[in-house]
Amino acid sequence: MRPALPFSRILRILLVVAALVIATLLALRFWPKGDSVNNGRNDENGNRSSGLILTNAVPQGKTVADADGDGLSDAEEATLGTDPKRVDSDNDGLYDYEEEKAYKTDPLNSDTDGDGFKDGEEVRRKFDPNGSGNLLELVNK
């Protein structure tokens, strides 16, 4: 039969376990809401963006009007028919820039592929907003 552990060792083990439990609870309590993709950012309607905002290269010294700050110039928004004062014209959870430049979805149609799910929801769930399939398959094409 094994000898019993000394009280001090049992106490140390209990303290370590308690510290781990407390650290986990604190992490869960204070971890930012939202997933790691969207970084908790909301558009002006309170909707979460997918978080994939690509930089729009503008030559140094030149300025481009972008009233809503979504990455599409006001001129590009006029060409597309999107609202230059709203980052998400169709209110689907993706910024107009993301729809036009990254996902190739329709920034004026909240459900580009017509499957009943908004484009932003499909991206957050890692589905292709343009049709069937996984978003990773779309990225790897």
In angstroms, the Cα distances linking 75 to 30, 82, 112 are: 41, 10, 23
Same domain, 54 and 16: no
Walk along the chain (141 residues) in steps of 10 and give the mean pLDDT of each run. Answer: 78 94 86 50 56 53 78 91 92 92 93 92 90 67 52
Residue 18 sits in which domain range? 1-31
Same domain, 137 and 75: yes
What is the reported pLDDT for 94? 92
Same domain, 19 and 87: no
What is the reported pLDDT for 43? 54
Same domain, 99 and 129: yes
Considering its fold, how many domains does the chain have in total? 2
Same domain, 50 and 16: no
Please give the Cα distance from 16 to 46 (Å, whole number): 41
The whole-model pTM stands at 0.55
